[in-house]
Amino acid sequence: MSIWGVIGGTGLTELEGVELLGEDWPETPFGKPSAPLVHGRIGAQDVVFLARHGKPHRIPPHRVNYRANLWALQAAGVEQVVAVNAVGGIHPELKAGTFCVPDQVIDYTWGRAPSFFEDDLEHVVHIDFSWPYDADLTQRLVRILREQGLAHMPKGVYAATQGPRLETAAEIIRLERDGADLVGMTGMPEAALARELDLPYACLALVVNPAAGKSSEVITMAAIEAVIERGMGQVKQVLASLISG
């Protein structure tokens, strides 16, 4: 049986219902990952959990060591990865508290280490990134969301922005014009690095706020945290069904 990897984003620093087997904080060729790897078991399935922003939550999106995170998961034997992301909703259907399982991504980030293949290469490496998310994993996530009756969009375009600030209303207009449905700060280079390691990777995105300019109300951390508190319980149920199934 394969070992699952779960990367937790904002609001998800640990999994529930897991039989804990131990943890370690390995060194990689790219430094230490954001947090210790937590090893556990859900049913008969082994799982390794990693808090993307550290535990406690203190690493901003542009400072996450994405390369160390993905390298450490693969070195731990992980064979498929589900990433949880808190995002803003651009598409009208993506209200706060709804889910999206994106099938495409547009990268607007800059200054982040984007690849494992940079130094002392025997030849340049180009990966096929036409379809950035694993089709089988995304379909399984969509099926579970549907079975659990959770409001969701079964596909969408994730716009990865630099952060840590939220976007301007004009920037969201641009992203929407580019075809983006949701916006977050941690989708890249994480997805590309997983592809470089041949790790099947999917994103479970929880919409925690309307994107800038999509609501007449001011975006506040208090409102976002309230949605996260409600939504992360649903996230854990989805992950438990995915991994144990």
Show binding-site residues.
Answer: 10, 52-53, 185-186, 209-211
Q: Which residue has the tokens 């009756």?
A: 149
Cα of first residue to Cα of last residue in the chain, in angstroms, is 12
Task: Give the contacts of 182 (CB within 8 A, at least 6 positions apart).
Answer: 87, 88, 89, 90, 91, 94, 100, 102, 156, 157, 158, 159, 205, 207, 211
Q: Which residue numbers belong to the known binding site for phosphate?
A: 10, 52-53, 186
Q: Which residue numbers belong to the known binding site for substrate?
A: 185, 209-211
